């Protein structure tokens, strides 16, 4: 499998090199040159597979020129053994045709564990064989950071630097990052917002001069293709459990960086019968505005009840645009350079293509609180604020009653106890057993100004030999 850049100017890479990078040299994002296809008969047979077996079926074609089947199988078995539910991604029915897919049974209680537990193991596997050390740089609005640290903490060949917006992640999220012990783990609280942190990561890929010459810079954000690849699996898993390929369904996806929902788009392109993908945003609604107006613009970032989605520059949207513009890398390069200077509008043809599969919905903080309360009152089911946005969008979307809608429940409510409290629930969410003493653990974190030079200087001075 070859991977090509969305901007068409960078060399094509194999899986191993795509894993060991972030942005392509031309500033684009890597995508597979072609996608594996699964027929209706293939999908029918998936019903017999457990989660790691299904992951093997979906992921093997993407990695097979670098990782032998038996090694991949061992990696996947060990990855999903870390999850606290036997089904790994259990489905819960809320009403006649509303479901939630619980993606929070991994070690850090968010959907990021699906990809980052795997990414850590893949990096370990590849780096051991190559006898190489790398530097990881990641930006987080709360969840990617802890999942990346958990996934990579055992890798001897990695120094990991995670930038989070100072004071803008929940206490549980911060503690999950800053209490993990290890000389190779570095938490940086940047005095800015998530967009600032993400921009620093992207700038560092464009200019790696601050790193020692023998260290590659690797991304753990969803700009790294391996993140997206791992997330495709649970769309197949949920759809097959609900009757695919005979039955079509829709997915409602709480969206920020467009990585999770882009994985759903790829599942559909690979043959999964998906009727609709619903982009559910908080008031940082740049993606909702794209779909309703055809214009992609910048907005000032709002701090909401769903902090992990407080993002206004949505990295992976570029991957979808590449397809909407029929894989014309030059057109994407031109669009993205104009976006750097201001708002951009998309062609009617591109927007028509997008609307055949995607709808969108913006959910305010008040509506989020109301949805948490309503779902609790009706089903005694506790939603976290991000998943509540997904459920609200699923209920408001205009789909025939015969189409089941699956909302991706992207985080455990115990990560956001304040939001749950604000919804007026008579019960507080409790942390699972392995995190019960989280608030007693000592923290380690460096507060830094919102300046790229300060961050890069800190990194350069703290890379282990
Ligand atoms: C809990 C939670 N829900 C939803 C999202 C949005 O996912 P994505 O950025 O892949 O769109 C994130 C992170 O971005 C998250 O942490
Ligand atoms: N919501 C994320 C933000 C980073 O997105 P990513 O999927 O590109 O890593 C977070 O919680 O950190």
- Tokens representing residue 304 in the block: 């909401």
The domain of 375 spans 88-107+226-422
- What is the phi-psi region of residue 164: left when phi exceeds 0, alpha when psi lies from -120 to 50, beta otherwise? beta
Index of the ligand 2 atom closest to the CA of residue 223: 8
Query: Hey, is 240 helix, strand or coil?
Result: helix
Mean pLDDT of 150-168: 95
Ligand closest to Cα of 222 equals 2
Where residue 372 sits, what CATH number does that domain have? 3.40.50.1100
Q: Are 163 and 458 in contact (CB under 8 A)?
A: no
pLDDT band (50, 70, 90) for residue 138: very high
Residue 121 lies in a domain: no
Ligand closest to Cα of 147 equals 2
- Tokens representing residue 294 in the block: 């055809």
Residue 459 lies in a domain: no
Helix 225-241 to helix 259-269 angle (10° resolution) is 60
Q: Are 149 and 162 in contact (CB under 8 A)?
A: yes
Index of the ligand 2 atom closest to the CA of residue 143: 11
ipTM for the whole predicted complex goes beyond 0.95 = yes
Digit-coded pLDDT (tens) for 91-106: 999 999 999 999 999 9
Residue 35 lies in a domain: no
Digit-coded pLDDT (tens) for 71-87: 999 999 999 999 999 99
Question: Does 308 sit in the ligand 2 pocket, CB within 6 Å?
Answer: yes
Question: Does 231 sit in the ligand 2 pocket, CB within 6 Å?
Answer: no
Asked if 112 is an active-site residue, the reply is yes
**Alpha helix positions (H), 131-273:** 143-152, 171-178, 194-206, 225-241, 259-269
pLDDT band (50, 70, 90) for residue 341: confident
> In sequence order, what are the residues at sequence separation of 6 or more whose Cβ sits closer than 8 angstroms to the Cβ of residue 277?
250, 251, 253, 261, 264, 265, 268, 357, 358, 359
Task: Determine the pLDDT at residue 216.
Answer: 95
The rounded Å distance from CA 31 to ligand 2 centre is: 19
Question: Does 316 sit in the ligand 2 pocket, CB within 6 Å?
Answer: no
CA distance 222 to 449: 25
Task: Determine the pLDDT at residue 98.
Answer: 97
Task: Determine the pLDDT at residue 298.
Answer: 86
Residue 299 lies in a domain: yes
Residue 272 lies in a domain: yes
Q: Work out how many domains the chain is built from and give that number.
A: 1
pLDDT band (50, 70, 90) for residue 38: very high
Q: Are 450 and 201 in contact (CB under 8 A)?
A: no
Digit-coded pLDDT (tens) for 278-325: 999 999 999 999 999 999 988 899 999 999 999 999 999 999 999 999
Mean pLDDT of 203-221: 94
The percentage of residues in the chain with a pLDDT greater than 90, rounded to a whole number, is 96
Residue 56 lies in a domain: no
Which pTM was predicted? 0.97
Residue environment code for 342-362, b if the CB has 16+ CB neighbours within 10 A, otherwise e: eebebeeebbebbeebbbbbb
> In sequence order, what are the residues at sequence separation of 6 or more whose Cβ sits closer than 8 angstroms to the Cβ of residue 402?
97
* Mean pLDDT, rounded, of the chain: 96
Residue 171 lies in a domain: no
Find tokens 């031309």 and name the residue.
26
CA distance 353 to 372: 33
Ligand closest to Cα of 145 equals 2
Residue 28 lies in a domain: no
* Side-chain half-sphere exposure of 29, counting CA atoms within 13 A: 26
The rounded Å distance from CA 129 to ligand 1 centre is: 32
Task: Determine the pLDDT at residue 100.
Answer: 98
């Amino acid at each position: 499998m070859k991977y090509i850049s969305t901007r068409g100017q960078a060399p094509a890479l194999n899986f191993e090199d795509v894993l060991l990078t972030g942005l392509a040299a031309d500033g684009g994002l890597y995508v597979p040159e072609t996608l594996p296809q699964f027929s209706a008969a293939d999908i029918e047979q998936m019903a017999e597979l457990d989660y790691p077996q299904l992951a093997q079926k979906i992921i093997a074609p993407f990695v097979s020129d670098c990782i032998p089947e038996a090694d991949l199988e061992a990696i996947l078995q060990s990855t999903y053994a870390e999850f606290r539910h036997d089904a790994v991604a259990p489905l819960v029915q809320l009403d006649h045709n509303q479901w939630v897919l619980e993606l929070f049974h991994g070690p850090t209680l968010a959907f990021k564990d699906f990809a980052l537990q795997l990414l850590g193991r893949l990096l370990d596997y590849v780096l051991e064989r190559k006898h190489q050390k790398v530097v990881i740089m990641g930006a987080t609005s709360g969840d990617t950071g802890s999942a990346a640290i958990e996934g990579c903490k055992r890798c001897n060949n990695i120094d990991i630097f995670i930038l989070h917006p100072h004071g803008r992640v929940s206490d549980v999220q911060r503690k999950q990052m800053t209490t993990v012990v290890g000389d190779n783990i570095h938490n940086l609280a940047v005095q800015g917002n998530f967009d600032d942190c993400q921009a620093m990561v992207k700038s560092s890929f464009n200019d790696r001069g601050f790193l020692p010459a023998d260290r590659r810079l690797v991304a753990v954000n969803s700009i790294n293709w391996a993140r997206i690849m791992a997330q495709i699996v649970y769309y197949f898993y949920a759809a097959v459990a609900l009757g695919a390929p005979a039955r079509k369904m829709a997915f409602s996806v709480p969206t920020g960086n467009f990585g999770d929902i882009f994985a759903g788009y790829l599942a559909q392109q690979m043959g999964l019968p998906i009727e609709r993908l619903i982009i559910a945003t908080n008031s940082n609604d740049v993606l909702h505005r794209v779909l309703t107006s055809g214009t992609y613009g910048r907005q000032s970032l709002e701090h909401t009840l769903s902090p992990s989605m407080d993002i206004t520059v949505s990295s992976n949207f570029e991957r979808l645009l590449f397809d909407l513009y029929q894989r014309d890398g030059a057109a994407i390069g031109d669009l993205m350079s104009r976006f750097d200077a201001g708002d951009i509008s998309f062609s009617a043809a591109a927007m028509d293509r997008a609307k055949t599969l995607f709808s969108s919905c913006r959910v305010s903080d008040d509506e989020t609180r109301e949805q948490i309360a309503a779902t609790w009152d009706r089903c005694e089911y506790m939603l976290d604020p991000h998943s509540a946005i997904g459920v609200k969008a699923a209920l408001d979307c205009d789909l025939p009653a015969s189409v089941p809608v699956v909302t991706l429940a992207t985080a455990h409510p115990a990560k956001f106890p304040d939001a749950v409290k604000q919804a007026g629930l008579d019960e507080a969410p409790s942390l699972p057993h392995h995190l019960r003493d989280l608030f007693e653990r000592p923290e380690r974190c460096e507060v830094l100004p919102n300046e790229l030079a300060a961050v890069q200087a800190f990194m350069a001075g703290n890379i282990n030999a």
